[in-house]
Copies of this chain bind each other. A is one copy, B any other.
Amino acid sequence: MIDLKGRHFLSTLDFSVEEIRSIVDLALRMKGDQTMGMLPGRVFGMIFFNPSVRTRVSSESAMARMGGHAIALHPGRDTWNFEHREGIVMDGNTQEHVKELAPVLSSMCDAVGIRKSELVTTGLSKAEVTTSYDDLKQDAFIHAFAKHSRKPVVNLESNSSHPLQGLADMAAMVEKLDGPPKGKKYVLTWAYHPKPLPVATPHSQLLAAADLGMDVTILRPDGWDLAPEMVEAARGRTESQGGSLTVTADQEAAYSGADVVCAKAWGSLDHYGRFDEESAAKDAIRADWTVDEAKMARTNDALFMHCLPVRRGIVVTDGVIDSRNSIVTTEAENRLWTVAALLQCLIAG
């Protein structure tokens, strides 16, 4: 067993392919036995700057099943607001610096999770973003917290990545594909969405397929590229495993022969923060990018994947998501087993 005790889990890129695979393998063994490790009396503190369903319930359920406990904090609602900038005079809207918050929470908890994304909102409300993606991708708060934390810090979704979703997607493909994922064709397809959505999840889904050594195709309209550093990192990871990576706008070629179609809406980094511009460009192509039965018919009987929540009738037709090839609930169910395996590794070793 690889020893990950005490490590931060901020991005799968901080871990070797072998380490990531060992977490996923542990999760699938736990799921097979329907039993988890034990973390009696251990506490996972979670700070949610954004709403959550799967991440919170899977983490809280995993800790409870292992005899421990998870605490969910919601800054600005049941707590005050937090500061992470260095050398600042705090006479504004923030009340506590991460230099205090991190050592304090990490002295009361055995690990701390943080969700902080500028684009995850409730309902139809759009985020207000006044800075660039190049700034936001630094994920300054979570990194500052990790720097001052005495215990492992877990990324529950940041601006740049959502590595817990990556683990669950990996586990779902290992479990559901017919044979080893290596060399199989994985298509990550962009989809329309009424709101500008973050790129964090598609980044981590991309890295998940790459770590499995798949032949990865990123299918997106021109102007909706993922962050180049993430695409290049994924290319390096999959090529190291014998896989490949292609970026295209050609839907017919992409679907052809696919073993997995993973749909995800994401926002345009070219228009980041200027959402009205993006909407105009996006509305023109909305109808072309829904995953439907005709497109799936071109594939090699591909599995359909989505991280959830999904807007039915927009991202995917009912026919596809309700088909026997859809493994969206397996992905979500695996959130429970992968976070349990991860917390076991980080807290107990």
Binding site for B on A (CB under 8 A): 41, 43, 45, 48, 51-54, 56-58, 60-61, 64-69, 71-74, 76-81, 83, 87-97, 99-101, 103-105, 107-109, 122-124, 194, 308-314, 318, 321-322, 328-329, 332-333, 335-336
Contacts and interface: CB of A to CB of B under 8 A. Distances in A.
Given A57-B71, A60-B69, A61-B71, A80 B313 contact: no
Given A67-B41, A122-B81, A57 B74 contact: no
Given A91-B311, A333-B104, A51 B78 contact: yes
Given A45-B57, A83-B312, 8 more contacts: A51-B77, A53-B104, A57-B71, A74-B78, A95-B311, A104-B329, A107-B329, A108-B335
Nearest to A290: B89
Nearest to A92: B124
Given A69-B69, A88-B313, A318-B87, A79 B96 contact: no
Nearest to A310: B100
A333 B108 contact: yes
A313 B308 CA distance: 43
Nearest to A85: B312
A58 B104 CA distance: 10
Nearest to A331: B104
Given A72-B78, A123-B76, A308-B96, A41 B64 contact: yes
